[in-house]
């Protein structure tokens, strides 16, 4: 940074601190309201499980709301990534209430989805409104989008360090400078402490026993990382597959979640697969102490991919946690390592592979589980990142870095051999 740039940065710092505070408070409050509402609809569904049969009705409400009022924001997280890479126009604020309503309806009626996408979209929509208020240019708009992603992620999971790094890493550090990096951490903590102010509690996990690092434990962690990468690949491809299938065969968008809702209601309520509805947090918590069924992670991939592909709303990250934790837990029958460690490493490794964010996921693992298992978490996340393929859950994400170069070399060799 030159002396001139440093001077400009210092002069603009008060303005950006104010913006960070406003985004952090507003996004954190939105996430707090969302988390309380999500808990309420989840408990209502658990106590009145007959409501799952109304999934087609819930799908109709979601489909109609986006068809008539949300066409410009239907891309969700991908819209944030696209506007960051090629800024065109301010993200409509209506993205926030629409995704909030859509996600609550999805969870109320028993769809299999997460919550990160909702918080990130609300954060992004809130943050981008400051473009007009402060008359910001496109370069400054990119900073706003980073701040929105950071605030949303940090507040919904209670992991400010991971939220700040995730916002930077999911964009593959493209067009990112010291200023945006610093502000990402500021807004993440502002949003995090806002949620704390509202006395919202996050789910706590623990890894009580961590073995010593040796050849065997390294080998088994690498194996878990590989399997987590393959699970991430399957999750991403499944979500894209169902989305493409519904869009190609059902031309009227509001009808897609209705038909999807019928299938899901029969499968979840009729066939007894209720543990795969909603977030699945109780299953995740249980996986840290009791071995999961070998098929749990596969069914969560299927149900979540189908739910989101049909047009229901929510995020992918908590289902990815479910997939990773139950995969690691199931492997505890064969791998001689503590079940909580396997579940914890799987928890963040599948997330790493599906989002191409190994650094953020490593930090998140240590924020959630402590520093002691950090080397196992870092190894699992890195291996999963490299073994999960070039397509993640976000279609508009631009893959760069070491993984991108590796796949480029592989593709060149394949072309040369043809």
Q: Which domains does the chain have, with CATH numbers?
A: 10-197 (1.10.3080.10), 215-403 (1.10.3080.10)
Asked whether the beta carbons of 258 and 56 are under 8 A apart, the reply is yes
- Between CA 177 and CA 164 the distance in angstroms is 14
Residue of 324, 367, 363 lying closest to 346 (CA atoms): 324
- Between CA 330 and CA 342 the distance in angstroms is 9
**Mean pLDDT taken over the chain:** 93
Asked if pLDDT for residue 383 goes beyond 60, the answer is yes
- Between CA 365 and CA 67 the distance in angstroms is 38
**324 contact partners, CB below 8 Å, separation of at least 6:** 228, 231, 297, 343, 345, 346, 347, 348, 349, 350, 351
Both tokens assigned to 290: 């009791």
Cβ neighbours of 181 (radius 10 Å): 16
Cβ neighbours of 338 (radius 10 Å): 17
The residue written with tokens 């890479």 in the block is: 85
Q: What is the mean pLDDT of residues 258-277?
A: 97
Secondary structure class of 254 (helix, strand, coil): coil
Per-residue confidence (pLDDT) for residue 406, from 0 to 100: 60
Residue-wise pLDDT tens digits, 22-43? 999 999 999 999 999 999 999 9
Per-residue confidence (pLDDT) for residue 7, from 0 to 100: 76
Residue of 324, 322, 318 lying closest to 349 (CA atoms): 324
Asked whether the beta carbons of 397 and 170 are under 8 A apart, the reply is yes
Both tokens assigned to 275: 């543990």
- Between CA 137 and CA 201 the distance in angstroms is 37
**Model's pTM, two decimal places?**
0.94
Residue of 287, 285, 326 lying closest to 304 (CA atoms): 326
Residue of 89, 100, 84, 122 lying closest to 38 (CA atoms): 100
Residue of 172, 124, 121, 114 lying closest to 390 (CA atoms): 172
Asked if pLDDT for residue 144 goes beyond 60, the answer is yes
Both tokens assigned to 78: 């991908």
E-strand stretches of 79-217 = none
The residue written with tokens 């599906």 in the block is: 354
Per-residue confidence (pLDDT) for residue 178, from 0 to 100: 85
Asked whether the beta carbons of 313 and 62 are under 8 A apart, the reply is yes
Asked whether the beta carbons of 205 and 42 are under 8 A apart, the reply is no
- Between CA 159 and CA 226 the distance in angstroms is 25
Asked if pLDDT for residue 418 goes beyond 60, the answer is no
Asked if pLDDT for residue 263 goes beyond 60, the answer is yes
- Between CA 218 and CA 214 the distance in angstroms is 6
At residue 262's C-alpha, the angle toward residues 259 and 268, to 5°, is 135
- Between CA 343 and CA 360 the distance in angstroms is 18
- Between CA 355 and CA 191 the distance in angstroms is 22
Confidence of residue 397 (pLDDT cuts 50, 70, 90): confident
- Between CA 409 and CA 32 the distance in angstroms is 45
Percent of the chain surpassing pLDDT 90 = 87
Residue-wise pLDDT tens digits, 161-194? 999 999 999 987 666 778 899 999 999 999 999 9
Per-residue confidence (pLDDT) for residue 413, from 0 to 100: 58
Greatest extent of the chain over all pairs of C-alpha atoms, in Å: 67
Per-residue confidence (pLDDT) for residue 12, from 0 to 100: 84
Confidence of residue 403 (pLDDT cuts 50, 70, 90): low
């Amino acid at each position: 940074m030159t002396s001139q740039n440093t001077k400009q940065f210092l002069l603009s710092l008060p303005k950006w601190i104010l913006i960070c505070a406003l985004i952090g408070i507003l996004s954190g409050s939105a996430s707090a309201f969302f988390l309380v509402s999500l808990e309420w609809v989840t408990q209502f569904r658990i106590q009145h499980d007959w409501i799952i049969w109304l999934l087609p009705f819930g799908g109709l409400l979601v489909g109609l709301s986006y068809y008539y009022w949300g066409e410009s924001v239907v891309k969700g997280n991908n819209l944030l990534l696209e506007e960051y890479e090629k800024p065109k126009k301010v993200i409509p604020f209506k993205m926030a209430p629409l995704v909030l309503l859509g996600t609550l309806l999805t969870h109320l009626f028993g769809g299999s989805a997460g919550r990160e996408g909702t918080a990130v979209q609300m954060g992004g929509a809130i943050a981008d409104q400051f473009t007009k208020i402060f008359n910001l240019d496109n370069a400054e708009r990119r900073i706003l989008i980073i701040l929105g992603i950071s605030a949303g992620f940090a507040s919904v999971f209670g992991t400010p360090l991971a939220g700040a790094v995730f916002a930077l890493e999911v964009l593959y550090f493209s067009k990112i400078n010291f200023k945006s990096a610093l502000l990402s951490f500021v807004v993440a903590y502002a949003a995090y402490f806002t949620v704390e102010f509202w006395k919202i509690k996050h789910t706590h996990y623990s890894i009580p026993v961590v073995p010593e690092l040796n050849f065997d434990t390294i080998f088994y962690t690498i194996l878990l990382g590989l399997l987590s990468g393959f699970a991430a690949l399957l999750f991403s491809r499944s979500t894209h597959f169902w989305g493409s299938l519904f869009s190609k065969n059902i031309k009227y968008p509001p009808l897609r979640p209705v038909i999807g809702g019928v299938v899901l209601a029969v499968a979840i309520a009729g066939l007894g697969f209720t543990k795969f509805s909603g977030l699945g947090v109780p299953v995740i918590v249980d996986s840290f102490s009791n071995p999961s069924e070998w098929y749990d992670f596969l069914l969560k991939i299927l149900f979540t991919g189908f739910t989101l592909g049909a047009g229901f709303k929510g995020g992918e990250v908590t289902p990815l946690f479910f997939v990773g934790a139950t995969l690691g837990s199931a492997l505890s029958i064969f791998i001689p390592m503590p079940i909580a460690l396997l579940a914890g490493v799987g928890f963040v490794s599948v997330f790493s592979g599906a989002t191409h964010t190994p650094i953020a996921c490593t930090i998140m693992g240590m924020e959630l589980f402590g520093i002691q298992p950090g080397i196992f978490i870092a190894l699992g996340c890195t291996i999963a990142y490299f073994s999960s393929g070039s397509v993640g859950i976000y279609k508009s994400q631009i893959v760069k870095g070491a993984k991108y170069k590796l796949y480029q070399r592989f593709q060149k060799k394949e072309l040369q051999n043809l």
